[in-house]
Amino acid sequence: MSNSRKKSVLILGAGFTGCTLAYLLKQKGFEVTVLERDKVPGGGCRTYWYGGHPYTLGPRIFFTRDEEVIKLMASLIKIRQFYNKTWSYIENDKEFYHYPIYGADIPKMPDKDEILSQLEERKNKEPSTENFEAYWLSVIGPNLYYKFIDKYSKKMWGIESNKELSIDFGWVNKGNPIRKKDTRLYGDMFQGYPFAADGYNQFFDEALKGCRFISECNVEFLNPQTRRVKTSKGEFTGDIIINTLSVDTLFENKFGKLKYSGREIFKIILPTKQVLPDDVVWIHYSGDEPFTRVTEFKKITNHKSKDTLICIEVPNQEGQHYPVQTMAEKLKFSQYQKLFPKSFYSIGRLGKFTYKGIPDVIRDAIDTVKIINS
C-alpha cells in the first residue's frame, strides 16, 4: 500500500460483517467509512431490552470450530462457553422431541415401527441432492420428514414446496440427520455467548473506534460506472467498496427483488423464574402453528431475575433475515454479481445471499481483508 496516502474503504452496513471488516482494515492502515441505516451498529445481533431483559432478534449464539474466528472475537469481547439443547414440538404426537433428531427418541414415537423400517431401507444408501425435500426423504424417510421438516421448512422460508429449495449441506442438517449420542445443538463445536449483559454490543462499538461511522444513512443506489454510492445523506465512494447489504437495492432491483424470509418477534414477560427445562433454550414448532420458534432468552444471556422473557418468532415477507435458497433466487443473485464494478466486494449473509451464522460472516471478513491486503 502506498505511503503517500491511505487507501479509503467504504463499507455498506454495520452488522457483524461490516464491523469486523472495519476493525481489521483499520488495523491495516486503511481509512474506513461505514454507512448504516439504523441509529446503532449490530443489525439483528444487537442487544435490546424489554421488561429489564436483554434479547436479540432471534437467538444469536456464537458457535464454530474456526480457531482464528474465536481468537478475533475474544480479542474484542469476553465470551463464556456454554452448550444447549433444543426441542421440536410435534403436535400430532402431542410430544416434545430433541432437535436435531435424536435416535433415542424414536422408540417413544407412536409410529416407531414404520420409522425404523424406513430408516433400515435407507441404510448405506447415497442421499439425494436433487433438492431439500428429496434429500430429507432419502435419509430419514417420510414419517420423520413430515414430523420434523416439511411444514417447519415451508413456513420458515415462506414457500409452497420444499422442492423449491436447493440442497446445501452446510446448513441443512447441522452435519448429521440423526444424532446417536450428542444431544447438544451444535455438537462438539465451541459454543458461547458474551459475558456482558448487552451481548455483542461492545464488539460493534470497539470495532468501529477510529472509523468514520455514519448512522441513519440509507443506501439507495450504486452506480457501477462511477462507483459512487447514493444515500439519504449524499454520495460516497472509496478506493475499495465492500457491501454487506442486499445487492438488489444497490442496483435498483434491475433483475427483481431477491426473496427473503423475515421475522416478527413477539416479546412476552412471564411471572416465573424460567419456563423451559434447565438445558433447553428454544423450541421449534413443526406443525400448522404460525410461529417457528419460542426462545427463553435468560438461558442465553444468563440474566438473573424473578421473571422471564420468551420471544415468539413469526415468519413474514417483510424483513431480510434469511435469504431464500431456491435455484430461481440464486440465479437472480448471479445476475446481480455480473454488475459488480472493480474493487467491489459483496460478502456476508445478505452480500452473498446465502445462509450464514456469526462465525461464517466473520470468516468472510477475515478472508476478504487478506485478499485486499495481499
Residue 314 lies in a domain: no
- Regarding whether 335 and 207 lie in a shared domain, the answer is yes
* The predicted structure's pLDDT at residue 173: 52
The Cα 249–Cα 94 span in angstroms is 44
Packed helices 67-76 and 358-372: angle between N→C axes, nearest 10 degrees: 90
- Regarding whether 333 and 241 lie in a shared domain, the answer is yes
pLDDT of the chain along its 374 residues, tens only? Answer: 445 678 999 999 999 999 999 999 999 999 999 999 999 999 999 999 999 999 999 999 999 999 999 999 999 999 998 888 899 999 999 999 999 999 999 999 999 999 999 999 999 898 888 899 999 999 999 999 999 999 999 999 999 999 999 876 555 554 568 888 877 777 777 889 999 999 999 999 999 999 999 999 999 999 999 999 999 999 999 999 999 999 999 999 999 999 999 999 999 999 999 999 998 999 999 999 999 999 999 999 999 999 999 999 999 988 899 999 999 999 999 999 999 999 999 999 999 999 899 999 999 999 999 999 88
Tally of structural domains, the chain? 2
- Regarding whether 328 and 253 lie in a shared domain, the answer is yes
* The predicted structure's pLDDT at residue 2: 46
> Is 225 in a helix, a strand, or coil?
coil
- Regarding whether 363 and 232 lie in a shared domain, the answer is yes
- Regarding whether 330 and 217 lie in a shared domain, the answer is yes
Domain boundary among 124, 147, 178: 178
* The predicted structure's pLDDT at residue 3: 54
Q: Which residues of 324-344 are buried (b: 16+ CB within 10 A; e: fewer)?
A: bbbeebbebbeebeeebeeeb
- Regarding whether 364 and 240 lie in a shared domain, the answer is yes
* The predicted structure's pLDDT at residue 83: 85
Residue 75 lies in a domain: no
- Regarding whether 338 and 214 lie in a shared domain, the answer is yes
Is residue 205 exposed (0-12), middle (13-18) or buried (19+ Cβ within 10 Å)?
middle
Residue 245 lies in a domain: yes
- Regarding whether 163 and 213 lie in a shared domain, the answer is no
Q: What is the CATH number of the domain that holds 366?
A: 3.40.50.720
Residue 54 lies in a domain: no
- Regarding whether 354 and 205 lie in a shared domain, the answer is yes
Residue 286 lies in a domain: no
Residue 149 lies in a domain: yes
Residue 3 lies in a domain: no
- Regarding whether 358 and 232 lie in a shared domain, the answer is yes
The Cα 248–Cα 138 span in angstroms is 35
Express the helix, strand and coil content of the chain in percent, nearest 5 each: 30, 25, 45
242: containing domain: 8-46+200-258+324-372
* The predicted structure's pLDDT at residue 280: 94
- Regarding whether 155 and 116 lie in a shared domain, the answer is yes
165 secondary structure, DSSP code:
B
Beta carbons within 10 angstroms of residue 3's beta carbon: 6
Residue 292 lies in a domain: no
Return the residue matching grid coordinates 439443547.
Answer: 85
What pTM does this model have? 0.92
Half-sphere exposure of 28 (CA within 13 A, CB side): 21
* The predicted structure's pLDDT at residue 279: 86
Summarised one tens digit per residue, pLDDT across range 272-326 is 999 999 989 999 999 999 999 999 999 999 999 999 999 999 999 888 999 999 9
Q: Which three cell numbers stand for residue 133?
A: 425435500
- Regarding whether 340 and 214 lie in a shared domain, the answer is yes
* The predicted structure's pLDDT at residue 36: 98
